[in-house]
Amino acid sequence: MQLNNLILGIGMNKMDFILGIIIGLATTILGCYLFISIYTTMTFVAGVEALQRQGLIGKVITLGSLLNLISFTILFKYNKDSIAKGIIASVLLMTLLTIFL
Residue 58, Cβ neighbours under 10 Å: how many?
Answer: 17
Q: Which residues of the chain have pLDDT under 50?
A: 3, 6-8
What is the predicted pLDDT for the residue at 38? 93
Residues 6+ apart with CB under 8 A from 94: 24, 25, 28, 61, 62, 65
Q: Between the CA of residue 27 and those of 2, 8, 10, 53, 67, what are the distances in Å?
A: 26, 27, 24, 24, 6
